A and B are shown apart, each in its own frame.
Chain A
Amino acid sequence: MAHQAHAYHMVDPSPWPLTGAVAALLLTSGTAIWMHFNSMSLMSLGMILLLLTIYQWWRDIIREGTFQGHHTPPVQKGLRYGMILFITSEVFFFLGFFWAFYHSSLAPTPELGGCWPPTGITTLDPFEVPLLNTAVLLASGVTVTWAHHSIMEGQRKQAIQSLTLTILLGFYFTFLQGMEYYEAPFTIADGVYGSTFFVATGFHGLHVIIGSSFLAVCLLRQVQFHFTSKHHFGFEAAAWYWHFVDVVWLFLYISIYWWGS
């Protein structure tokens, strides 16, 4: 019987990259169709296909790593590089929106009244809900670190408790931010202030939801004994992503909520 003479993972053929690509095409063209021709069919189809791809691709990776042993140390190193590179690309994504914000706010045009915040905009008080949101995310950074140490020390119950608490804090942030969006005295259509505010904080909120989902999957896996004290990269990746989301919020808070008020 032939065995591989190396520690790397030669992945079996899989349909999920193709379904993912098709989903991306349907989502993008579908969104354009929705905006111009009032039909959500293509976009919905793309969304369903994307969710199916996500579920099955990552389920397969868990099977390959946790159940079949393919994630040897060099393979895990590659996964680490991958996650770091991905998060770096997300940093650049947000950098663009910060660039847009500073471009408009550092030299406000006469149309805005030559001032920032622009004339007519009542900003949110940075020391009310936004400050609470900052505390919530910072606390969640502490609880996710507690969860990590619990996993490394083989403390199953504490790992489950701290991970659950982290996810709850994430939900609390999303809930509070949702309320703020509902109650805000300005909308996305209110000039460049509204645009920069809601696009930057909106994408951040989306990343909070993604990060919370990632952590929730880790919780499910922890309950099902997938993680060992020495090997739990899925959790580490989720924790890195969560810290990244927290740091983005800190920059948003300082720049848009505080300085920008």
Chain B
Amino acid sequence: MSHEEKLKNYRTAPFDARFPNTNQTRNCYQNYLDYHRCNKALTAKDKDPAPCEWYHRVYKSLCPIAWVQKWDDQLEAGTFPGKI
């Protein structure tokens, strides 16, 4: 399935076997990290960052809005503690 098709069929975040338990914090955080890492890696190689949109959709589905806002503010201020 191409990523355009995947995104067209997207309804919500699918089951991810890496995070099987009720506490989905890490699922949200990992996808947030992966989106920004994917963007950084692809734009560094002058490639189209379209595949990264999947991670964007997943973390938007899973994460509390307040967390995303806090992390976005931290990224802007340069104080985000995760490794991008």
Q: A119 to B74, alpha carbons, bound, how many Å? A: 13
Q: Which residues of B contact A112 (CB under 8 A)?
A: 81
Instruction: Provide the residues of chain A in CB contact with B25, threshold 8 Å.
Output: 109-110
Q: Is the CB of B29 within 8 A of A115?
A: no
> Which residues of chain A from 186 to 229 have a CB within 8 Å of any chain B CB?
none
Interface residues on A, range: 10 to 19
Q: How far, in whole Å, are A118 and B81 apart by their CA atoms in the complex?
A: 8
Q: Mark B32-71, 1 if CB is under 8 A from A, else 0.
A: 0100000000000000000000000000000000010001
List B residues 1-42 near A (Cβ within 8 Å): 25-26, 29, 33
Q: Which of B29, B71, B82, B83 has the most CB of A within 10 A?
A: B82
Instruction: Tell whether A17 is near chain B: CB-to-CB under 8 Å.
Output: no
B83 engages A110 (CB within 8 Å): no
Cβ of B82: which chain A residues have Cβ within 8 Å of it? Answer: 110, 113-115, 119
Taking CB atoms, residues of chain B closer than 8 Å to A120 are 81
Report the separation of the CA atoms of residues A109 and B26 in the bound assembly, to the nearest whole angstrom: 8
Query: Given the complex, which residues of A lie within 8 Å of B29, measured CB to CB?
Result: 110, 114
Most buried by A among B26, B81, B82: B81
Q: Which residues of A contact B33 (CB under 8 A)?
A: 114
Cα–Cα, bound, A114→B82 (Å): 6
Chain A 88-131: CB-based contact to B (< 8 A → 1; otherwise 0): 00000000000000000000011111110011100000000000
How far does the Cβ of B23 sit from chain A's closest Cβ, in whole Å? 10
Minimal Cβ-Cβ distance residue in B for A120: B81
- Give bound CA distance, A119 to B82, whole Å: 7
Residue of A nearest to B82 (CB): A113
Q: Which residue from chain A places its CB closest to the CB of B23 in the assembled complex?
A: A107
- B49 CB, nearest partner CB in chain A, Å: 22
Instruction: Report the Cα distance A120→B82, complex, angstroms.
Output: 10
Whole-angstrom CA separation of A207 from B82 in the bound complex: 37
- Bound-state Cα–Cα, A29 to B33, Å: 48
Q: Which residues of B contact A110 (CB under 8 A)?
A: 25, 29, 67, 71, 81-82
Identify the closest chain A residue to B80 (Cβ). Answer: A113
Report A's interface with B, CB cutoff 8 A.
109-115, 118-120
For this complex, 20 residue pairs linking A to B, each with C-beta atoms less than 8 Å apart, are A109-B25, A110-B25, A110-B29, A110-B71, A110-B81, A110-B82, A111-B81, A112-B81, A113-B81, A113-B82, A113-B83, A114-B26, A114-B29, A114-B33, A114-B81, A114-B83, A115-B82, A119-B81, A119-B82, A120-B81
